[in-house]
Amino acid sequence: MTTYRIAPSILSADFARLGEEVRNVVAAGADLLHFDVMDNHYVPNLTFGPMICAALRPHCSIPIDVHLMVEPVDEMINQFAKAGADIITFHPEASRHVHRSLSLIKDAGKQAGLVLNPATPIHVLEDVLDKLDMVLLMSVNPGFGGQSFIPHTLEKIRRTRALLDKYQVQSGRRIALEVDGGVKTSNIGEVAAAGADTFVAGSAIFNADDYARVIQEMRAELAKAA
Ligand code: DX5
Ligand code: ZN
């Protein structure tokens, strides 16, 4: 049976109370903390860097899932590895040498993943599967929270799931499949049914009054999809 993980994105948290927001969402039952790093270069927005990650680390008893939307990526990989990230993912378009960047993450003892934009084909995964612990499919164009889920992603999730399942049969190793953008209680079931196992949710959780209730509702939808 699939283990489903919910990864609240603190992009939609109250930045003036970030430590408290992290503690609250962990207490509400989050499985991973999704940390969206934007540089106003790879994406047209600017968020937070490794110093904020290091500051939040003691407030966070769950793994930190760092989503790098920065270009270039290698120096940030090194800094986030030191700052306490557990999973580090980046966009292949943002690295001149994708295999080398993935190796940097693995050599630092962290879990590694590639992030595919809505228009990025899944064949970029094929030659680096042995380096991957996670694939992150964007279901919106990166840069902002609160956008609508792009329906074509469902079909892409199914194709990616098939690729990862085939790899699992050959290697015995399971690669997680995460989906990011516009995920809510109303669509998380179909995202899971398409083959995702890890769900980023920013605005759906942080714009609600009761984080625990949203996470419980999401888990109830996931239980139906299983
Ligand atoms: C977008 C980010 C997402 C974003 C998701 O570039 O990668 O993680 O925070 O936000 P929602 O869940 O509001 O679409
Ligand atoms: Zn993200």
Domain of residue 18, CATH code: 3.20.20.70
Q: Is 209 among the catalytic positions? A: no
Look at residue 18 in the predicted model and tell me its pLDDT.
98
45 CA closest ligand 1 atom index: 6
State the average pLDDT over residues 8-13.
Answer: 98
For the CA atoms of 18, 47, 152, 131, the dihedral, rounded to the nearest 10 degrees, stands at -90
- Domain of 114, in residue numbers: 5-225
Gap between the Cα atoms of 168 and 188, Å rounded: 24
**Protein residues with CB under 6 Å of any ligand 1 atom:** 9, 11-12, 34, 36, 67, 140, 142-143, 145-147, 180-183, 200-204
What percent of the chain shows pLDDT beyond 90?
A: 98
Residue 143 assigned ligand-binding role: yes
Please say if the pLDDT value at position 119 is more than 90: yes
152 annotated ligand binder: no
Report the distance separating Cα 189 and Cα 192, nearest Å: 5
Note the pLDDT of residue 152: 98
Q: How many domains does the chain have?
A: 1
CA distances for 51 relative to 24, 48, 221, angstroms:
21, 8, 36
Given a cut of 90, whether residue 226 has pLDDT beyond it is no
Q: Which pLDDT tens digit goes with each residue over 176-225?
A: 999 999 999 999 999 999 999 999 999 999 999 999 999 999 999 999 99
131 closest CA partner among 161, 159, 107 = 107
Catalytic residue among 36, 39, 86, 197: 36
